[in-house]
Amino acid sequence: MALMTANEYVESLRKLNTRVYMFGEKIDNWVDHPMIRPSINCVAMTYALAQDPQYAELMTVKSSLTGKTVNRFTHLHQSTEDLINKVKMQRLLGQKTASCFQRCVGMDAFNAVYSSTYEIDEKHGTHYHENFKKFLTFVQDNDLTVDGAMTDPKGDRSKAPSQQADPDMYVHVVERREDGIVVSGAKCHQTGSINSHWHIFMPTIAMGEADRDWAVSFACPTDAEGMYMIYGRQSCDTRKLEENADIDVGNAKFGGQEALVVLDHVFIPNEYIFLNGEYEFAGMIVERFAGYHRQSYGGCKVGVGDVVIGAAALAAEYNGVEKASAVKDKLIEMTHLNETLYCCGIACSSQGFKTKAGNYQIDLLLANVCKQNVTRFPYEIVRLAEDIAGGLMVTMPSQKDFDSDTVVGRNGETIGEICNKFFAAREGVSTEDRQRIMRFLENMCLGAAAVGYRTESMHGAGSPQAQRIMIARQGNIQGKKQFAKDIAGIQ
Ligand code: SF4
Ligand code: FE
């Protein structure tokens, strides 16, 4: 099968028996649900841009497994150029959606599991790498979206998986059979889980011998028997349920998605298993996946940042203040911060190296520095955007008021006319355009999209402390001491 079109992707989701729950109920037609659909449109964009000749070079690539043209989101990086193109592709998608487009978690899982399974087999004589290659060929041939599922609920954080009062706090093997394993547990805040055709499950922390049953990685279809999702709600999400609320929603076309994914005794056939008890490799998968996803943020968040900066500049223009030096300087600062993140994404890619399995890995130190900056700079960019936009982005009446015919004025003016009169700004700019940009900024800074641009910048791909641990490990303080000793003449 060739690359899917955006529409074929959306239709392919309907064929799955994915079990989705929201507001305490099962949602049967979740594909058309107004709260879910924007997140599907977002993933669909990864298919649409791959069909666009203008972006074909960035979005598509020759498969290292089959030689066929595949979507870059299913690709194993073959060079530092591939790693750089990945970041560029993510920036492009961020610019086109102003949201989390979700498909990267699978791409990052592919690359982490591909190289790790090679090394597991090398030590243990297992055949996880062959399993994985077969699985990825199937994914590439069918142009599938795959969720990379890592974050377990974790229960009592001071205890290892095997010490938890409830063993389900980490995904684990409950039964080993001749033909496969049965697994239970859950993964929290899974990006794009419902919009994926398949899932790759991976451990979330390094493990010891006692955690053998929790050291497990495998692929399974999103509608596997025993698997279901409970939708994560977002700030202001029910605005999407209101009639004619496209302006109030802020970004009515696109959005991100997270869900709680539950595995209740799901059977995994042998051919889809990539780790099963080789506990000393759990940490390797975590480190590699996290490294790739920390690189990813130097692309996707930068693309979204581009849109935030553009929206702030438009807000200033509509208010007639775009020539004020203070506004110009704020836009410079926002650009400086955003491009610094991009520098990190490009740097960790250009310093990448070949793994034993043959695909390319990013520079871990620089990728962690990248993500550490992402835990800060988008917050500052958003602060400056709010500064430029002014309070109206959170105090403006609803679209229903702007549309209202109810008479309120002594000369028969309607609520709509009054709103349009008092929220007009610069001449030649429609009040509606001003409304649109204010609501868009509200959405980006503290509405539904702030999930992706703010809190996800903090905690996605690992919380700040996780990067600091990696920076400590990779920072080579001993080597730096030696530099100082050599020059200072200390033996
Ligand atoms: Fe991709 Fe960014 Fe979303 Fe992660 S947060 S899935 S890198 S868009
Ligand atoms: Fe993320």
What's the chain look like in SS3? CCCCCHHHHHHHHHCCCCCEEECCEECCCCCCCCCCHHHHHHHHHHHHHHHCHHHHHHHEEECCCCCCEEEHHHCCCCCHHHHHHHHHHHHHHHHHHCCCCCCHHHHHHHHHHHHHHHHHHHHHCCCHHHHHHHHHHHHHHHCCCEEEECCCCCCCCCCCHHHCCCHHHCCEEEEEECCEEEEEEEEEEEECCCCCCEEEECCCCCCCHHHHHHCEEEEEECCCCCEEEEECCCCCHHHHHCCCCHHHHCCCCCCCCEEEEEEEEEEEEHHHEEEECCHHHHHHHHHHHHHHHHHHHHHHHHHHHHHHHHHHHHHHHHHCCCCCHHHHHHHHHHHHHHHHHHHHHHHHHHCCEECCCCCEECCHHHHHHHHHHHCCHHHHHHHHHHHHHCCHHHHCCCHHHHHCCCECCCCCCEHHHHHHHHCCCCCCCCHHHHHHHHHHHHHHHHCCCHHHHHHHHHHCCCCHHHHHHHHHHHCCHHHHHHHHHHHHCCC
Q: Is 100 among the residues known to form the active site? A: yes
Atom of ligand 1 nearest to the CA of 456: 5
Mutational test site, ligand 1, from 95, 151, 296, max ligand atoms within 8 Å of CB: 296
Q: What is the rounded CA–CA span in Å between residue 395 and residue 155?
A: 40
Pocket mutation for ligand 1, best pick of 39, 88, 293 (most atoms within 8 Å of C-beta): 293
Q: What is the pLDDT of residue 190?
A: 97
The torsion region of residue 35 among left (phi > 0), alpha (psi -120 to 50) and beta comes to: alpha
Residue of minimum CA distance from atom 2 in ligand 1:
300
Q: What stretches of 7-47 adopt beta strand conformation (E)?
A: 20-22, 25-26
Closest CA to 291 of 115, 160, 450: 115
Q: Is 317 a catalytic residue?
A: no
Residues, the chain, total?
491
Mean pLDDT by 10-residue block, N- to C-terminus, for the chain (491 residues)? Answer: 93 98 98 98 98 97 98 98 98 98 98 98 98 98 98 97 98 98 97 98 98 98 98 96 94 97 98 98 98 98 98 97 97 98 98 98 98 98 98 96 97 97 94 97 93 94 96 96 98 92
pTM, two decimal places: 0.97
The pLDDT score that the predictor gives to residue 2 is 85
Distance between Cα 239 and ligand 1 center (Å): 24
104 lines ligand 1 (CB under 6 A): yes
Ligand 1: does its nearest atom lie under 6 Å from the Cβ of 191?
yes
Question: Which pLDDT value is given to residue 1?
Answer: 63
Report pLDDT for 301.
Answer: 98
From the CB of 102, is ligand 1 less than 6 Å away? yes
pLDDT at site 243: 93
Q: Is the CB of 300 under 6 A from ligand 1?
A: yes
Nearest protein CA to atom 3 of ligand 1, as residue? 100
Ligand 2 center to 270 CA (angstroms): 29
